[in-house]
Amino acid sequence: MKIFNAAIMLLLLALMAAISTASTDKRTYIVRMDKTKITNTFSSLVSITKPWHQAVLESLADDDELEATPPELLYSYETALFGFAAKLSSKQLESLKNMEGFISAVPDKMLSLHTTRSPFFLGLTGKKGKNGPWSGSNLHSDVIIGVVDSGIWPEHVSFRDHGLSPVPERWRGTCEKGTKFSPSNCNKKLIGARYFYGGYLAAGGKIDETNEYVSTIDASGHGTHTASTAGGNFVEQANLFGVANGSAAGMRYTARIAAYKVCWPGCSTIDILTAMMKAIEDGVDVLTLSLGSTSEAVPYWQDYLAIASYFAFKSGIFVAFSAGNSGPWAYTAVNTAPWIMTVAASTIDRSFPAIIRLGNGETFEGSSFYTGKALKGLPIVYGKTAGVTGAEHCIPGTLNPKLVKGKLVICEPGDEYMTQSERGEQVKLAGGAGVLVMSTVGEDLANEPHVLPDILLGTSTSKAVIKYVSSTKAPIGTIVFKGTTYGNRAPKLAAFSSRGPNLAGPEVIKPDVTAPGVDILAAWPAETSPSTLESDKRRVSFNIMSGTSMSCPHVSGIAALIKSKHKDWSPAAIKSALMTTAYTIDNKRKPISDLKSHALATPFGIGSGHVDPIKASDPGLIYDITADDYISYLCGLKYNESQIALFEEGFIECKEQLAMQPGDLNYPSFAVNFNRKARNVTVTYKRTVTNVGIPKSTYRVSVEAPKGAYVIVRPKVLSFKKLNQKLSYKVSFIGLSRKKPVVNSAFGSLMWVSGNYRVKSPIAVTWK
């Protein structure tokens, strides 16, 4: 499964940064300054030839004449965020902190990169899509999607501009020249291309120009894949090796795309922040970011991607982030600020079945993209029967060709970071005939393109196969490859998808929604192999990947669709529409299940449910939120004035009338936290809804209370007389004591019903 392992990537990049830091005693920081104070302080030094940030950094060098190297400027920020990114020694940092106008300095962090069938599964094509978001009248407006990722392959058919009108006059971006990329590579589809690597290099990263382009051109494939998922053209007969054949299209396939390359392969927070600020200046309507940290939870004021996203929100830009691939464990969701749409990953109804029949007659189903002939009656080797210690994980150098040649080899995941396809490559190099890829967590069958015949097996099946092989003197197996099937039960929450609860903001459920993120077919660079292995000489136009990186651009593209129809809606209104119309029942009329264990998925896994672009375009009611509301929310989180000033320059204090209890944020979901020992405690939240459906309409509430809690709504009926009218209600949650709880959380829902409208919000009650 092509899921980028954030923990290992961070560790490796942190090691490189540590080596660099040890030799120079320097780190890279994002520095915030008070614009008024700093310009007054340096007014006599600042000129046309010497900008303010240069004067500041030169003063630091003057303060410490013993420094071997002066401060090194990477980027400066002068719009929504006033400050700069620079490489500073510890002494220079201390001097800076003593300067009038200094606000904060946050060290840089390294992050990592966290469809033929999707449009049909989402109802955008077929009978459901008639007169829906893909109808002609909704595709005329010029929506611009900014993709912050690993770049883009500009010559791909998904990014041609046939039939598009001229570039919108409001667009302020550009296409930057770089290795094998010139402004002429842009067109009326790909209208912006920038790249940022200062933070990556400052952290000790290296750019190998034999495998990477110092330009917006994508060498990894990740950015091309996500960009085409969000806004790629309609392309007929897209497929990978003949499987998943059909018409590929981005969710908003007539959108304009602006690519911002920040991953080389590591992704510096400084580079991402700078790209986001530039995208705001350029004039994008939607930002999609399929990247993030591990499950490290930090306050929002310490998270510069959350701060940059807030600036985007204030500029009217919808921002979507992937939730992460650290599931199925709790508290692993990242990118959880309430003004961000945080997206989980789930399956669609397409699969690539392969059947393995063991020598004892047992038969199991797995997954494979291989379309060749069956492998019949071959010996199976595993661990010691395949080589030395480490052979069970197919680590390089552990497989013995004499033991492996012509056989099926079992490969288990291990602590070392290797992709499935890298393990398969080791089997091929040792002469193996095929690879059995085992899973140790969940029943995900999110596969990768292998360089030899393969089958991916879920956890329960993996255990059964290993039990047979370990207890049989001469184990054998036959693998039959079935190609592509449709109509499978879906969606199901992917086991790898990161989960809540939300550590940084416990009163907000995260993730917000789930979307297609398993075995997604999308555009691929012409010079990158489908497995990304150097030994793989195959080249394809489309590739299949899995991860919340794939689900995020689905939601970003759908948000662009809604933006087309409702041009005056705020990002919060679009987000509300996506959340309150999401569904929790699958295509077989059963509750959405979790591939962690086939149990029911909860709001901590799928948020409000699976996105439904048809219903989201006409939600009936919306929960809108303003920037002032978010500042009141931050006051409610007990952030101090200097911390909130990072979001709102010039912010003075959290007055009592300004601060809200965090649960009163007008969010389209409810997260309630009780003390486990408290008895019959009542928590009351307020919400306000805006009528965007039928002018004169009456909504009645329907509540499914979480087990162990009572829910009281007042009033129970909301009667609207006109469009855009706002009405408020209060919800009281009464929690019973749970000294010895069976579970720590329980779930329910609150739904306002009027005719065909169902405006639903999940409820998550947690006893701590």
Other residues' Cβ atoms within 10 Å of the Cβ of residue 598: 12
Identity of residue 534 = E
Partners of 243 in beta bridges: 240
Are residues 684 and 572 part of one domain? no
**Active-site annotation holds for 610:** no
304: tokens are 């510069």
Identity of residue 479 = I
Are residues 359 and 299 part of one domain? no
pLDDT surpasses 70 at 106: yes
What b/e string do you get for 635-644 counting C-beta neighbours within 10 Å, with b at 16 or more? bbbebeeebb
Q: Which of 459, 483, 507 is the last residue of a domain?
A: 483
Is 592 within 8 Å of 493 (Cβ atoms)?
yes
Are residues 360 and 330 part of one domain? no
**Active-site annotation holds for 549:** yes
Are residues 546 and 458 part of one domain? no
**137 lies in some domain:** no
Are residues 501 and 478 part of one domain? no
Cα 411 to chain centroid distance, Å, stands at: 28
**127 lies in some domain:** no
Are residues 474 and 543 part of one domain? no
Average model confidence (pLDDT) for the chain? 89
E-state strands within 302-424:
318-322, 341-346, 350-351, 353-358, 363-367, 375-381, 408-411
pLDDT digits (tens, 9 = 90+) for 694-710: 999 999 999 999 999 99
Is 2 within 8 Å of 546 (Cβ atoms)?
yes
For residue 381, the domain's CATH number is 3.50.30.30
* Per annotation, catalytic residue among 89, 497, 549, 745: 549
- The closest of 458, 413, 410 to 435, measured between CA atoms, is 410
pLDDT digits (tens, 9 = 90+) for 567-577: 999 999 999 99
- The closest of 140, 151, 173, 165 to 283, measured between CA atoms, is 173
* Residue 591 DSSP code: B
Question: Which distant-in-sequence residues (6+ apart) come within 8 Å of 422 by Cβ?
Answer: 533
139: tokens are 């595709």
Worst-scoring range by mean pLDDT, 53-67, 88-102, 474-488, 603-617?
Answer: 53-67
- Of 79-83, 462-466, 655-659, give the range with the top mean pLDDT: 462-466
**Active-site annotation holds for 208:** no
Is 148 within 8 Å of 272 (Cβ atoms)?
yes
Are residues 301 and 162 part of one domain? yes
What per-residue confidence (pLDDT) applies to 70? Answer: 85
**122 lies in some domain:** no
For residue 501, the domain's CATH number is 3.40.50.200
* Residue 180 DSSP code: T
Write the CA distances from 418 to 4, 411, 436, 470, integer angstroms: 10, 11, 15, 24
Are residues 471 and 433 part of one domain? yes
* Per annotation, catalytic residue among 156, 222, 225, 554: 222
pTM, rounded to two decimals: 0.90
Rounded Cα gap, residues 608 and 659, in angstroms? 27
**327 lies in some domain:** yes
**449 lies in some domain:** yes
* Per annotation, catalytic residue among 149, 454, 519, 629: 149
Give the β-pairing of 243-248 and 256-261: unpaired
For residue 69, the domain's CATH number is 3.30.70.80
- The whole domain housing 633 covers 626-662
pLDDT digits (tens, 9 = 90+) for 741-753: 555 899 999 999 9
Q: What total of structural domains would you count in the chain?
A: 5
Worst-scoring range by mean pLDDT, 17-26, 29-38, 280-289?
Answer: 17-26
pLDDT surpasses 60 at 13: no
341: tokens are 């749409």
- The closest of 401, 354, 404 to 378, measured between CA atoms, is 404
Are residues 511 and 565 part of one domain? yes
Are residues 672 and 652 part of one domain? no
pLDDT surpasses 60 at 120: yes
Query: Taking residues 721-735, what's their average pLDDT?
Result: 97
Worst-scoring range by mean pLDDT, 58-62, 116-120, 397-401, 579-583?
Answer: 116-120
Partners of 42 in beta bridges: none
**Does an H or E element contain 478, and which?**
strand 476-481
**136 lies in some domain:** no
Are residues 190 and 216 part of one domain? yes
Give just the sign of the alpha carbon dihedral 554, 555, 560, 562. positive
- The closest of 385, 389, 387 to 475, measured between CA atoms, is 385
pLDDT surpasses 90 at 714: yes
Q: Which of 583, 617, 651 is the last residue of a domain?
A: 617
pLDDT surpasses 70 at 495: yes
- The closest of 18, 24, 27, 35 to 76, measured between CA atoms, is 35
Give just the sign of the alpha carbon dihedral 512, 516, 520, 521. negative
Query: Taking residues 159-172, what's their average pLDDT?
Result: 93
Are residues 669 and 655 part of one domain? no
Worst-scoring range by mean pLDDT, 257-271, 377-391, 567-581, 647-661?
Answer: 647-661
**128 lies in some domain:** no
* Residue 706 DSSP code: P
Partners of 149 in beta bridges: 261
Is 601 within 8 Å of 328 (Cβ atoms)?
no
What per-residue confidence (pLDDT) applies to 416? Answer: 66
Residue 173, helix vs strand vs coil? coil
Rounded Cα gap, residues 207 and 540, in angstroms? 25
Worst-scoring range by mean pLDDT, 56-65, 657-666, 714-723?
Answer: 56-65
For residue 735, the domain's CATH number is 2.60.40.2310
Q: Which of 483, 506, 537 is the last residue of a domain?
A: 483
**399 lies in some domain:** yes
